[in-house]
Amino acid sequence: MTTEQPRTSPRTSPTTTPAVRRAVFVDGVRTPFGRARKDGLYASTRADDLAVRTVRELLRRHPELPPERIDDVAIAATTQTGDQGLTLGRTVGVLAGLPRSVPGFAIDRMCAGAMTAVTTAAATIGVGAQDVLLAGGVEHMGHHPMGFDAEPNPRFVSERLVAPDALNMGVTAENLHDRFPALTRERADAYGVASQDKYAAALAAGQISPDLVPVALRDPERGWGLATADEPPRPGTTREAILALPTPFRPGGRVTAGTAAPLTDGAATCLLAAEESAAELGLPVRMRMVTFAYAGVEPEVMGLGPVPATHKALARAGLTIDDIGLFEINEAFAVQVLAFLDAFGLADDDDRVNPYGGAIAVGHPLASSGVRLMTQLARQFEERPEVRFGLTTMCIGLGQGGTVIWENPHHRDYEPVTTEGSTR
């Protein structure tokens, strides 16, 4: 019996510490996002099949990449059970038709699952352990609601480690309104309308569809179909309509369905590589990862997480907020984005922030959203070569935040790496 031998490409002697290599974002795709309900787009579709579809599309788009050159597959899910359990990276790779020699693993950092899959993959590239990886996430909230079947340790509350309301994300958004009076409902309502309007404009301009992969649907009652567009957006939303919505997390509160991301099903995956490996294989470079950071905050104000994470990432990169020309901020709640904007002195309507709209319009399938942000930023870099740096950031349940800073390869000052690993 013979087995395929793993590919090795030694770069240094055993006693030599390899230099840190640059990780690049080659490409990213996502499924159309569906509403997480019994009559939603993916009510009869398995979560793992959504992730499989994104992997197959990346392989189809990049025939120059031999599948056996993929070193690992990292797929995240927040609720790792049922059709989004069983070591997703490995099962998705097998189901997508990758060679059996390609390993895979699952990962969880709640909303930042896909983001963590990407930063973990980039770190392995950086130390020279791997060359080419697939990283992404999937969340079928229609099959597995957030927190489904979870058993939070009672010590959280009994020992006052966290406030009782810290386990309810909507209440943590209300807490932000309480803590910062300047974060008014009026601002949040206006932001919610703007998210819908910007998404509608981006869709009409052809800036959304190129990153979507159609998904075949088979419903026992409705028959066969094809998902080609996002289901959650509500074009034409007005401030008056949002004002009439109930506040489900608190009587007389300020958070409504119009200023929160809807419960969503969907998957997103990207292809990452060492820059010299991309050059060797003829893969495009759409962004270079500069650095990343994660930070913790009080769980009861979870939405503040992106602020310290961004401070850490900027410090590591030797940059300031003024160096960032594009921001992709996950819109779990409007108030969370507004808190970030206030912390860094940015206007509510700053055109560098979420130019295509965000999760309030398109939805937030938890563990997959990080790659959606990255894919949108990569497209914006292509449209705006004068912007050198951008960032993707998001808040994370139980009081965390994550930020990744990226460099635009289309900028005049970008110095690509050659196949020999040196810049030119």
| C-alpha closest to that of 407 among 279, 276, 266, 290 | 290
Cβ–Cβ < 8 Å for 80, 144? no
Q: Residue 296, SS3? A: strand
Report yes or no on 423 lying in a domain.
no
Report yes or no on 278 lying in a domain.
yes
Tell me how far apart the alpha carbons of residues 170 and 174 are, in angstroms, rounded to a whole number: 7
Report yes or no on 16 lying in a domain.
no
User: Of these residues, 62, 111, 140, 143, which one is catalytic?
Assistant: 111
Q: What is the pLDDT of residue 422?
A: 62
Q: Which domain holds residue 328?
A: 23-143+161-407
User: Of these residues, 144, 177, 270, 395, which one is catalytic?
Assistant: 395
Start-to-end CA distance of the chain, whole Å, equals 47
Active site residue 270: no
Cβ–Cβ < 8 Å for 329, 394? yes
Report yes or no on 104 lying in a domain.
yes
Which phi-psi region, left, alpha or beta, contains residue 364 (left: φ > 0; alpha: ψ -120 to 50)? Answer: beta
> How many domains does the chain contain in total?
1
Tell me how far apart the alpha carbons of residues 101 and 28 are, in angstroms, rounded to a whole number: 23
Report yes or no on 8 lying in a domain.
no
Q: What is the pLDDT of residue 288?
A: 98
Q: What is the pLDDT of residue 351?
A: 97
Report yes or no on 6 lying in a domain.
no
Q: Residue 12, SS3? A: coil
Active site residue 395: yes
Q: What is the pLDDT of residue 10?
A: 46
- The amino acid that residue 16 corresponds to is T
The string of pLDDT tens digits covering residues 190-249 is 999 999 999 999 999 999 999 999 999 988 777 789 999 999 999 999 999 999 999 999
Reading the block at residue 349, the tokens are 């309507």
In the predicted model, residues of the chain with pLDDT beneath 50 are 1-6, 8-12
User: Of these residues, 62, 364, 410, 411, which one is catalytic?
Assistant: 364
Report yes or no on 293 lying in a domain.
yes
| C-alpha closest to that of 21 among 402, 422, 380, 424 | 422
Cβ–Cβ < 8 Å for 406, 120? no
Report yes or no on 416 lying in a domain.
no
Q: List the CATH number of the domain containing 93.
A: 3.40.47.10
